[in-house]
């Protein structure tokens, strides 16, 4: 079982319930062979911008930040990492991209979980592999391909 802790610092209409987030995380981790714990922190633009500057040296808020945990050998800890999600930015992006807010939340959480598992999109081949994995997971949840119209700018 995958444990989930949600820290809701910012509340807004359309935020998913814990059960929805749990389903998306469990689906993203279906091929992962051990139980995990993930912390999801839902924040405003100010906290997102501060963390984005502090950890990525980029200004402004971002839709999601992933903080994987590297557990030292011999330490029995199931914590996979933390996801920090900027709820108001997700709402804006969903409107701009003309997609259901819930679908965008699902995509961004799955995107973040894949980062926790070591996937990345810095190089074209990595991006292609990660996007393909996201599309497959979302398809299992009956959610449309978020890249179909090339609207995502991560």
pLDDT in tens, 60-89: 999 999 999 988 888 888 899 999 999 999
**What CATH number does the domain containing 42 carry?**
3.40.390.30
Residue 73 resides in a domain: yes
Q: Are 107 and 130 in contact (CB under 8 A)?
A: no
Pairing of strands 79-86, 64-68: antiparallel
Residue 154 resides in a domain: no
Question: Alpha carbon of 18 to those of 12, 61, 135: distances in Å?
Answer: 14, 23, 22
Give pLDDT tens digits for 123-134.
Answer: 888 889 999 999
**Number of domains the chain contains:** 1
Q: How far apart are CA 105 and CA 15, in angstroms?
A: 8
Residue 146 resides in a domain: no
- Segments forming the whole domain that contains residue 63: 3-140
Residue 8 resides in a domain: yes
Residue 135 resides in a domain: yes
pLDDT for 149 equals 62
């Amino acid at each position: 079982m995958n444990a989930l802790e949600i820290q809701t610092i910012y509340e807004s209409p359309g935020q998913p319930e814990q059960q929805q987030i749990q389903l998306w995380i469990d689906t993203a981790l279906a091929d992962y062979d051990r139980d995990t714990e993930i912390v999801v922190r839902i924040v405003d633009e100010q906290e997102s911008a501060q963390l984005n500057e502090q950890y990525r040296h980029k200004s402004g808020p971002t839709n999601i930040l992933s903080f994987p945990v590297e557990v030292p050998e011999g330490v029995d800890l199931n914590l996979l990492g933390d996801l920090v999600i900027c709820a108001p930015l997700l709402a804006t992006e969903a409107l701009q991209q003309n997609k259901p807010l819930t679908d965008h939340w699902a995509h961004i959480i799955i995107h973040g979980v894949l980062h926790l598992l070591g996937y990345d999109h810095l190089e074209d081949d990595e991006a292609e592999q990660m996007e393909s994995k996201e599309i497959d997971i979302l398809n299992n949840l009956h959610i449309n391909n978020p890249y179909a119209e090339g609207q995502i700018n991560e």
